[in-house]
Structure 1
Amino acid sequence: MTSVTLQNLKYVVAVAEHGSFSAAAKALYISQSTLSSAIKELEAELGTQLFLRSNRGIQPTPDGEDFLRYAREIVEQSRALERRYRHRRYAPTRFAVSTQRLPFAVRAFQRFMEQLSWNSYDIAIRECPTYTIISDVAAGKSDVGVVALHDQYIPALEKTFEINHVTFTELERLPTYAFLRRSHPLAKRDKVSMAELLQYPFVTYDQEADRSEYTEEVVFHQIAEKTVHVSDRCSKVALVRFTDAFSIGPDLTNSNADAFHSGMGEIVAMPVEEISDSLHVGYLLQKNVAVSAAMAVFLDYLRDDIIVLKKTL
């Protein structure tokens, strides 16, 4: 007994579209006898005639018209399915990282990008607040989140991670430094005090939408009288490079902690007497998601760059 197959449906649709067995067979790259036999076997299986054959060609019978309505729909759905998964086979490989404004994360991403051998890819790195990083990783928008967290806020953040089904893996602990331009009045010191720093403008990321436990910057117990809020790292670097403003954190591009810009020496990193807290630097992953090959490569570069940073500071 012959069953109705997708191939049978394609044969019927082709015969109806081309109006003859010979034209349909040519379009299907099969012999006319093979096509004719397949249609006859299908008609016998269904117990009805699908086409009227004459010297002037063929015409669908009423049952044939009814059969064709369903056959065309199924054939079109099968073609759509083929197109969908054929496109996926050649779709670009995707990889995304969400990170706090941490230069070493960007350096790791740069190295990751340079070694890519994929023919086609769509990759992204997003610098954003910590709560956005958690959301990105939880939603699968980013594969990896890179964060630097304060020791005193870890318990509260662990609850946030649990609620959002993400895991935090610590890679290293990094000290916090003040970043000043090389010509800054305090730049010749071995270390500086908060009182000395607070004589100058403090450049900080705008925390209006972020809570203190979410920021990678140390939260001052003293209130700075001169505060400059910025939303991105480029603005912060420019202000520190060209004014007497200072910044606080574990890393800042163009500083003496930046091995990629060690010859520039535009910004110096200095210990702050009153700040002894270290930052827990690590990464966030979606809970119960296996580490992919791309993730593993990026995380290796991230580890390496954090080690270089720690040795340099």
Structure 2
Amino acid sequence: FVVESFVELLKREGGDKYEFHMRETETYDIIRDVAKLRSEIGILYINEFNNTVINKTLRDNNLTFTSLIKVKPHVFIGRKSPLAEKKSLSLNDLKPYPRLSYEQGSHNSFYFSEEILSTVDSDKEIIVRDRATLFNMLIGMNGYTICSGIINEELNGPNIIAKPLKVDDYMEIGYILPKTIRPSALTLEYIDILSHTINS
């Protein structure tokens, strides 16, 4: 939904000439970029596990977190995965398959992991840097990643599907902004598009 909303913003406001930047990066870098004003807005998630550390880091950097949606964790898998026929999945169902996760760079604390439940052991682990590689590996290796379950088939294609994960956890997805700077009109419009996209 983040990319989908950004695409919609560009369609509305791009005009004949423009230069916009969108960075998909590690959680810690998202926080740092917004704090240092390299980015106007950042999107991340908070859950029970990372709540204390993320909120302290946001406070220390004079940033606010505004929730957009609270969801139960899901698993992204390939449409042809052996798990695709199941209505929902357990952690035990996932054990035989490779888990894909994003590289966390030099600030690799598991509290800043892109994936929920990153501390759960996995015998097969594949670390990637970008979404395209992750999706290709999901399909090619019958792998999985744990996520929000929000996916846009129009942008990501029909080969990735989401299944509910049977765990007692949540992901609260929201945006971060600097406390002391008024958001630009484009940022406010992007927030409005995000809210609409995620709730439709």
How far does the alpha carbon of each residue in 1:65-102 deviate from its partner, in whole angstroms, 9 at most, with x for none?
A: xxxxxxxxxxxxxxxxxxxxxxxxxxxxxxxxxxxxxx
What residue is the counterpart of 1:244 in the other structure? 142
What residue is the counterpart of 1:206 in the other structure? 103
- Structure 2 distance, partners of 1:221, 1:122, is 38
Instruction: Return the offset for 1:118.
Output: 5.2
- Structure 2 distance, partners of 1:271, 1:218, is 13
Secondary structure of 1:199 counterpart: coil
2:34/2:178 contact within 8 Å kept = yes
Instruction: Return the offset for 1:129.
Output: 0.7
Instruction: Return the offset for 1:278.
Output: 1.2
- Structure 2 distance, partners of 1:150, 1:122, is 34
1:151/1:280 contact within 8 Å kept = no
The aligned runs of 1:208-227 (5 Å cut-off) are 209=106, 210-227=108-125
Residue 81 of structure 2 corresponds to residue 187 of structure 1: no
Residue 154 of structure 2 corresponds to residue 260 of structure 1: yes
- Mark the runs of 5 or more structure 1 residues left unpaired by the alignment: 1-103, 309-313
Change (3 A) 1:304 1:134: same
Letter in 1 for 2:162: A
- Structure 1 distance, partners of 2:27, 2:119, is 21
2:42/2:177 contact within 8 Å kept = yes
2:28 to 95, 111, 131: 131
- Structure 2 distance, partners of 1:207, 1:125, is 18
Structure having the higher Rg:
1
Letter in 2 for 1:300: D
What residue is the counterpart of 2:175 in the other structure? 283
Instruction: Return the offset for 1:242.
Output: 2.5
- Structure 1 distance, partners of 2:149, 2:3, is 11
Instruction: Return the offset for 1:120.
Output: 4.7
What residue is the counterpart of 1:163 in the other structure? 60
Instruction: Return the offset for 1:139.
Output: 0.9
Which is richer in helix? Answer: 1
TM value normalised by structure 2: 0.91
- Structure 2 distance, partners of 1:136, 1:261, is 26
Instruction: Return the offset for 1:286.
Output: 0.9
Instruction: Return the offset for 1:119.
Output: 6.0
User: Which protein, 1 or 2, shows the higher relative CO under an 8 Å CA cutoff with sep ≥ 6?
Assistant: 2
The aligned runs of 1:1-313 (5 Å cut-off) are 104-116=1-13, 120-207=17-104, 209=106, 210-251=108-149, 257-261=151-155, 264-273=157-166, 275-308=167-200
Secondary structure of 1:127 counterpart: coil
Letter in 1 for 2:2: A
What residue is the counterpart of 1:27 in the other structure? none
Instruction: Return the offset for 1:221.
Output: 4.8
How far does the alpha carbon of each residue in 1:201-259 deviate from its partner, in whole angstroms, 9 at most, with x for none?
A: 1111123532122123113454111111111111101111223111111147xxxx425
Secondary structure of 2:22 counterpart: strand
Instruction: Return the offset for 1:121.
Output: 3.4
- Structure 2 distance, partners of 1:220, 1:117, is 37
Letter in 2 for 1:288: T
- Mark the runs of 5 or more structure 2 residues left unpaired by the alignment: none
Work out the percentage of aligned pairs sharing the same amino acid.
27
Change (3 A) 1:271 1:135: same
TM value normalised by structure 1: 0.59
